[in-house]
Structure formats: structure tokens, C-alpha cells
Amino acid sequence: MKKVLGWIILILVIFVVGLWIENQIRKIEIKNKPPIVESTIQKEKVTVLRVIDGDTIELIDGRKVRYIGVDSPETGSKNFLKSKIANQKLVEKKTVQLEKDVSDTDKYSRLLRYVWIDDKFINLEMIKNGMARVATFPPDIKYAQLFLSAEKEARMNQ
């Protein structure tokens, strides 16, 4: 029994160390990405019809947009309503600018975009205000380091 328990502990330690190493490699990869010059970026201006949740909106033309790099509480989970209301205050019935990264849509056919109102970066605001957490998926990692820094600061400020 002690031998089996020892093997289980060893496997768990190897697994945790592997996750830590993977995380460190990911941080290095993100850090070494060359910056993209903002002036070359095309942004599409659109009006938000409604907010679906803390990281998804519906546009007046019926398209749905999923914020890149963030994940908010899902329907029925703790803080769902708080996150949705925060997003509504930021974007509902307002004209926003959509910025594409690499991917165009997700598996649900939602547009994947960074969302701006003038100089206010909505994806970042949701993280800064603790209404969403960072969830980056390559190749759409343009602002990943910025998001991670904001999340760290939000956690420190509770």
C-alpha cells in the first residue's frame, strides 16, 4: 500500500512540475512576441444591440462577438449577473470598434475580436475590474501580456 501511495505521489509531483514548466514556457513565448504597430490596425465600427454575458455581445446586424483573451462567468454561475451588468454599462447600445487578431471566428461562429470604445479597451476593462479572467488561446495572443498584468493587479487589489 505504501509503495502504491509513493508512486501516486511521484506521478502527481511530475504532473504539477510539468504544468509549471509549460506555464513558464508560455510566458517566455508571449514575452518574445514582436509588438504590432497600432497605426496599421483596421477597426470595424459597429453598434452593440445587446450584451449576452461578460465576454459576448450581439451586434445590431445580428452577428455575435466573443471577446478575445477573456473569460467571464457563465449563466447560472456565481458573479454571472455582476459581470454581465458591468459589460452592459460599458458597451450596450453603444458604437464600438472591433479589432481582429489572427482568428476570425470560434467554433460557434462568433466573431473573435478585441473591443474598443474610443481609447477604452473593453476586454482589458473587464479584466481590470475583476469581471473576467484571462483566457488566451494561440494564435490570438496579441494583448496576452497586457491582460496577464492587469489580472495580476486586479487580484492584488481584490
Which residues have a catalytic role annotated?
66, 74, 110
Nearest Cα neighbor of 141 from 29, 19, 20 is 29
C-alpha 106 chain-centroid distance:
13
Parallel, antiparallel, or unpaired: how do β-strands 120-121 and 133-135 relate? unpaired
Q: What phi and psi, each to the nearest 5 degrees, are found at residue 115?
A: -120, 130
How far is 53 from 66, CA to CA, in rounded Å? 10
How far is 22 from 62, CA to CA, in rounded Å? 39
* C-alpha grid cell, residue 94: 453603444
* Positive/negative CA dihedral, 15, 21, 24, 28: negative
How far is 51 from 72, CA to CA, in rounded Å? 12
